Structures are given as structure tokens and as C-alpha cells.
Amino acid sequence: MKAVEVHHLFKSYAGKTAVKDLSFSVNPGEILGLIGPNGAGKSSTIKIILDFMKPDSGDVKIFGHQMNEGCKNQIGYLPEERGLYKKLTAIDLIVYLATLKGMDKVSAEKKANVLLEQTGMLENRKTKNKNMSKGMGQIIQFIVTIIHDPKLIILDEPFSGLDPLNTEIIKNIIGKLRDEGKAIILSTHQMNKVEELCDRVLMINKGQAVLYGDLKETRARFSKNSVQVNVVEEFGDLPGVIDKKFNKDSIELVLAPDTTPQIILDQIRDRGLTINRFEITTPSLNEIFLNIAGGNHE
Amino acid sequence: MNKTYLIFKHEFLHTIKRISWIIMTLIVPVLALLGIGIIALVTTLSEPGEKEIKAIGYVDEVGIFNDQTSNGFTKLIPFDSKEDANQALIRMDVSEYIIIPADYTSSGAIHRYTLEEELITSPITVAIIKNFLTGNLLKDKVSPDMVTLIVSPLNVEVTQVTETGDKTLEQNNIANLIIPGIFSLLLGIALMFGATSLISGLGEEKESRLIEVLFSSVSVRQLLISKVLALGAAGLLQVLVWLISAPLLLYLASSTFGGFMSNIQIPGSFLLLGIVYFVLGYLLFAVLSIGVGAISSNATEGGQLSMFYTLASFIPLWFSSLFIAFPNSSIWVVLTIFPITAPVQTMLRLGASDIPLWQIMSSIGVLVLSIMGGLYLSIKIFRMNMLMHGKRPGFIEIFHSLKNA
């Protein structure tokens, strides 16, 4: 059963379209990257999934059902802008919000201590939230999001404001959650994180899906017929190469349509040249994003 | 565990741990005790000791004031001249002296001399001198009892009777307005604090987006009903603390001040209705505050908008002097039934007179309906505007919220 199924979603505010005929799904055990420029409709989509607002038309199913109170205990949500009750301690906040997700107090406290230890925050369990740094507060909110072992996790910019160490910790936990079979929607601006973590990607622009599919297939689909080479000696002209682009530490060879990278590699080796690097060029997600969004990305 | 109960518990504990709530709850008995203590101290220091007799000198230029010179607490000492009296004052033989001039019987004027800096002559001193003068003026003309009566000729005792002529159980007394008056004022202030507290909490949750985390766990209805009930429970606890401390304070006050304070009666209905109106008032203001919290762009703006109804709740107190003069005007009936003014106005009226049952029932009925209707509308408005912060919806958007939510 799919964790989330979104069918032909439409939503507009004051005559302005926010979401237009959007359909997608998320499976258990996968991370779907949700990307798009400012005002693309990502937040509106998340809020409709969470039933914070109703769509004009279309429907959303969570584990095969319309959103209901029972579903809420199976969802973990980390909003983009994050805040905490300032006067509560970290442990009190985590336990309170965990009990609202159906956990009993004892289990919530036990699990909170485990997660605090995993994230290196155990010594801050009794620290009041008002005395925490922004990064520490974000870790606490991340713990709140996953403490109740949700089947569906929606993360809106989970890495924003985190230092590299905490980013790595959170990234590893997200990967582990996916391996445990959780369905994860990851909305982020950080394309490298999408490339590192996501199995599939949904790019939204002006409320519509402009790209949706497996990440590897998508990158292959957008790949150019070219290779990056770094050879010690000069190699002159090669048959089948129609253009050369000189980069800082490599040369990009743009190949003719009927020329494969293997033909070029064989030619270089036949000339007895020393090869430091030979790599088939695949576009980064950022390049694909810029290409589709026309440079208007967040 | 029930999520509504969990939020209720969290909100209740959060409210009663707030400094403003603690101060508001404790300040009433503490200030009252302090007031009683200060008055007792001032009275003790001002009054002469049990065996200390106050000496007042006088110079009688008329020649008829030589009797009634002692009343047990005060002794009036005659002097032949102003100079002698002045010397006695400087030596502190007398605390003050008066000159009764030769033309006193035609002018009625006397002159008083004292070393103390005074804004007005103390009423006790005035009474002592008045009794002395009156007693001497009448000494050979009427009996001593008549003199006493002339000095204090009026002591009105009012008895309220029922339509059948029986004495009513509770007697009207201006002093009876003191407790309801103070209670009304405190209720108004407590409602203002409660409304501000709720709006500030909602503002914090909206601004920090914590509200989204909460709504990913519970429904709008669960969250808001829990908040309203928690604020009502905090109000109930507050009034219970006050009511428990009231008999002790009243006992202390009457033993300290005596007199009219001893005559204060707290009507039985006042205690019960006090609790009912306090809780209903809190619930109504909580509901209104949720509506305001939903349409406010931030906590500060919410606080400003809430002033409309918090200030309106004080209307009965603004016109309390008119109320004392004309307690039976129909305007008080309107204010008793109008939900925003009902709690304060009813408390005030309970101290002054009986309120017909139909008015109390109407008032409570309108309050309950207002709370239920207000909660329904507030939830609708909140549902549509909960994700907004930094922008206040216009009237058209609010109307659409009510129509579409």
C-alpha cells in the first residue's frame, strides 16, 4: 500500500493558482525529494497532505484512507520555520508532543533519551528551550518528528541552519529511517542532499509537476553525450568529438550522436596517453533544476 | 490518554505557572492582609494608649466653659491667658490649646493652636471640642441625656422587609457592596490577564509555527476546546483561592476596624454565583481571545484587539457611583444580560440588592449560548487563518472563513 497518494490536486488563493493538477505518490521505504522554486506550491502541497487546508478539488490518501485523526499518529512532520515552547525543557517538550502522538509518558521519555543520545544532545535534556542555540532547537524538533516511530515522515528543509556535523547525524538518521521502511517526503533547497538521499524526485513549478520520477533515471534522461577527461599529454583531435570545453581540471568532450564514450576511451588508450580521469558526464540535479526552472530557483 | 486532556493539562499548568497569574491570585489576600496591617498599625500609633490621657488646653474669654472637662480619654485644662497656654504647649504639658473668644456666642468661631503639621483638624479632636462646647452651652438648660442626643441626634437603622412584612434574611448595607465591588474589579482584571495570556500563547505558537506541529497531532477543535477549558479551570482555581481567604480576611478586617465592617454580610447566593460567573466569564473571554488570536498577525496586535472587550467588561465599574444612587435602573438589567458585561455587573448587583431569578437565568443562558456560539465561530475562523502570521485577514476574508470552513 502506498503511504501517500495525491490525485489531481487543485488549489488556488484569491484567484491565484497554487497547485494545479498535481498527482504523485510515495511508497514505504523510499525518500521522495520535493523541489521547486519559491512559490512553486511545495508548502501548499504539504499542507493539503497534512489536512491543514482543503484542496479545491482532487484528493489525498494516507495509507489508503482519507486523512483522519487516527492517521495523525502515523505521521511525523517537521515544518520549515521551527519554534519551541521557550519555557519548557527539551525533555518535557519532546515527551509532551510525543504523548499527543499517542505514546505513553514512560515510553516517550525512554525513546527521547535514546534519540537525544544519538544526536549528542543528552546532556541538554534538562536545558530550557529558550537557552538553546538554533541548531540545538532544530535537533529537538527533529526528535519530536520521529520519536513516535511514524510510518510517514514529512520534512520541510530539515538541514537548514544545521552545522556539518549535525547535518551528517540527521542525514544518517533519515537514511536509516528509509531502510526501516518509512515513507519520507523531503522538501529542501539543498540539491546535493536530494542527490545523496532521495530515491525519487518531484519538481514543482507554478503549481505543476514538471519533473517526477526515479532520480537515477532522471539524471540519465537529462545527461548529455559527453565525457570529462584529464590526460597528461596533448591528444589533439579525436574522431567523433564535435566540441571541446576546457574546465579547470578537465576537458569536456562533446560526442557526435553515433559516438559512444567507449570509442573515445579506446582511442586515447591506443595513443598510449596517460589517463588521470575519464568520466561520463551526468548533469547534477541542480543543473536539471536550473534548466527546467529557468534559473528561478530558491 | 485522551489528547484533549493532555492539552488541557499542559495549558492549565502553563497558565498557573505564569508569573502574572500567580501575582494576580496571591496579590488579593496579600494586599488585603497588608492593608489591614497598615491600617491597624496607623490606628495604634495614632491613638493614645489605654492609660494615656490627652490634654487640651483652653482659654475661656466668654467665662461659661468650666464643666465637662474630662471624658476619660481627654482632659481639658483651663488657662488664664493665651501666653500661659502657649507656654504649656511648648513644655508639652498640653498637646494643643484652643481660644474661645469673647464673641464666640455670636460668631461660633474658636481658634486652635497646635505644634503638629496638619492638613485638617482630626475629626476626633473636632468631636471632643464640639462635645465640650455643647455640654457647657446646655448644662443648665437640659438634662445630660438630652445633651447626648443633641450632640448625636440621628442613627438610622434600615430594615428591609418582604412583601408579607417579614424581615428579609439579608439586610442591605452599603458595606455589603465592598466585597462584591472588590470581587467585580478583580474579576475584570483577571479576565483581562486571562485574555492576554491566551492571545500571547496562541501568538507564540503561530509565530513559531509550533501550531503546525500541534495540528499534525490533534484537531483544531481539540486544541482550542482544551485551551478554553484550561483557562476556565485556572480562573476557577483563582476564585477558589480568593473565596477561601475571604472569611479570614473579613474576620481580621472586622476585628481591626470594627464598626461597619462587622456588619458586612456576604450573600449566600453571591458565593455560588460568584463561582459560576467567574468561570463563565473566563470561558467567554477565552473564546473571544481565540477568535482574536486567529485573525491577529502577531501577539501584540492580538493584545490590542482584545482591549475592545476587556475594557467593555469594566463598564459596570465605570458607572458604579450611578449604580449606588439608582440601583433599580433598567440599564443595569441590560448590562446584566449583555454577555461581556454580565459577570462584573451581576457581581456588583448581588451586593446591592436581590436580582430577579429570570434575570439571572437569562444572563447565564445568554452567556452559555455566547460561549458555545463564539467557540463554533472562533474554531471556523481559526481553521482558515491558523497558518497565517504576519498578515491580518480583512473582513471579507473573515466572512469567507465563516462561510467556507
Segment A17-39, tens digit of pLDDT: 889 999 999 999 999 999 887 78
Q: Tell whether A232 and A245 lie within a shared domain.
A: yes
Q: Tell whether A63 and A148 lie within a shared domain.
A: yes
Q: Tell whether A229 and A205 lie within a shared domain.
A: no
Q: Model confidence at A109, in pLDDT bands (50, 70, 90)?
A: very high
> With the C-alpha atoms ordered A262, A263, A264, A270, is the resulting torsion angle positive or negative?
positive
Cell of B351: 451586593
Above 60 in pLDDT, residue B312? yes
Above 70 in pLDDT, residue B99? yes
Of the candidates B6, B10, B209, which has its C-beta nearest A83's C-beta? B209
Above 60 in pLDDT, residue A295? no
Between the alpha carbon of residue B95 and those of residues A144, B79, B81, B168, B309, the distances in Å are 77, 14, 17, 49, 56
Q: Tell whether A102 and A208 lie within a shared domain.
A: yes
Above 70 in pLDDT, residue B337? yes
pTM: 0.72
Q: Model confidence at A113, in pLDDT bands (50, 70, 90)?
A: very high
* B305 within 8 A of B285, measured Cβ to Cβ: no
Q: Model confidence at A297, in pLDDT bands (50, 70, 90)?
A: very low
Above 60 in pLDDT, residue B171? no
Residue A286 lies in a domain: no
Q: Which of A114-118, B209-213, B287-291, B316-320 has the highest mean pLDDT?
A: A114-118
A252-256, B139-143, B155-159, range with the lowest pLDDT: B155-159
Query: Could you tell me the residue ranges of all domains in chain B?
Result: 3-35+174-404, 54-151
Q: Do B387 and A47 touch (CB under 8 A)?
A: yes
Residue A32 is part of which domain span? 4-220
**Chain A nearest C-alpha distance from B287 (Å):** 21
Chain A: residues touching B (Cβ < 8 Å): 47, 50, 52-53, 69, 72-73, 75-77, 79-87, 96-97, 99-101, 104, 141, 144
Closest among A244, A274, A240 to A256, alpha carbons compared:
A240
Residue A20 lies in a domain: yes
Over residues B307-319, mean pLDDT = 88
Above 90 in pLDDT, residue B392? no
Q: Tell whether A204 and A257 lie within a shared domain.
A: no
Query: Which pLDDT score, from 0 to 100, does residue A282 have?
Result: 82
Q: Tell whether A211 and A234 lie within a shared domain.
A: no
Q: Which residues of chain A have a CB within 8 Å of the CB of B218? A: 69, 72, 100
Residue A292 lies in a domain: no
Q: Do B6 and A79 touch (CB under 8 A)?
A: no
Above 80 in pLDDT, residue B256? no
Residue A44's closest chain B neighbor by CA?
B387
Q: Which of A220, A235, A258 is the last residue of a domain?
A: A220
Q: Which residue has the higher pLDDT, B351 or A2?
A: A2
CATH at A228: 3.30.70
Residue A62 lies in a domain: yes
Query: Which pLDDT score, from 0 to 100, does residue A28 have?
Result: 95
B187-196, B233-242, B251-260, range with the lowest pLDDT: B251-260
Q: Which CATH architecture has domain B54-151?
A: 3-Layer(aba) Sandwich (3.40)
Q: Which residue has the higher pLDDT, A223 or A159?
A: A159
User: Strand B54-60 relative to strand A251-255: parallel, antiparallel, unpaired?
Assistant: unpaired
Q: Tell whether A30 and A76 lie within a shared domain.
A: yes
Q: Tell whether A75 and A100 lie within a shared domain.
A: yes
Q: Which of A248-257, B97-106, B151-160, B177-186 has the highest mean pLDDT?
A: B97-106
Query: Which pLDDT score, from 0 to 100, does residue A298 have?
Result: 41
A47-61, B56-70, B281-295, B317-331, range with the lowest pLDDT: B317-331
Cα–Cα dist B273/B282, whole Å: 14
Query: Is the minimum CB–CB distance between B1 and chain A shorter than 8 Å?
Result: yes
Q: Tell whether A153 and A245 lie within a shared domain.
A: no
Above 50 in pLDDT, residue A154? yes
Q: Which residue has the higher pLDDT, B113 or B119?
A: B113
- Chain A interface disruption, residue of B207, B212, B389, most A CBs within 10 A: B212
Residue B216's closest chain A neighbor by CA?
A72
Query: Which pLDDT score, from 0 to 100, does residue B173 have?
Result: 60
User: Strand B74-79 relative to strand B111-114: parallel, antiparallel, unpaired?
Assistant: unpaired
Q: Model confidence at B259, in pLDDT bands (50, 70, 90)?
A: low
Q: Do A97 and B217 touch (CB under 8 A)?
A: yes
Residue A94 lies in a domain: yes
Q: Tell whether A197 and A262 lie within a shared domain.
A: no
Q: Model confidence at B20, in pLDDT bands (50, 70, 90)?
A: confident
CA-based diameter of chain A, in Å? Answer: 72
Over residues B43-54, mean pLDDT = 63
Q: Tell whether A184 and A241 lie within a shared domain.
A: no
Q: Which residue has the higher pLDDT, A125 or B37?
A: A125
Number of domains in chain A: 2
Residue A175 lies in a domain: yes
Residue A297 lies in a domain: no
Q: Model confidence at A78, in pLDDT bands (50, 70, 90)?
A: very high
CATH at A135: 3.40.50.300
Closest among A182, A219, A188 to A26, alpha carbons compared:
A182
Q: Tell whether A110 and A46 lie within a shared domain.
A: yes
Q: Model confidence at A296, in pLDDT bands (50, 70, 90)?
A: very low
- Chain A interface disruption, residue of B216, B385, B388, most A CBs within 10 A: B216
Query: Which pLDDT score, from 0 to 100, does residue B378 have?
Result: 86
Residue A294 lies in a domain: no
Query: Which pLDDT score, from 0 to 100, does residue B396 have?
Result: 66
Query: Which pLDDT score, from 0 to 100, does residue B405 have?
Result: 53
Q: Which residue has the higher pLDDT, B37 or A183?
A: A183
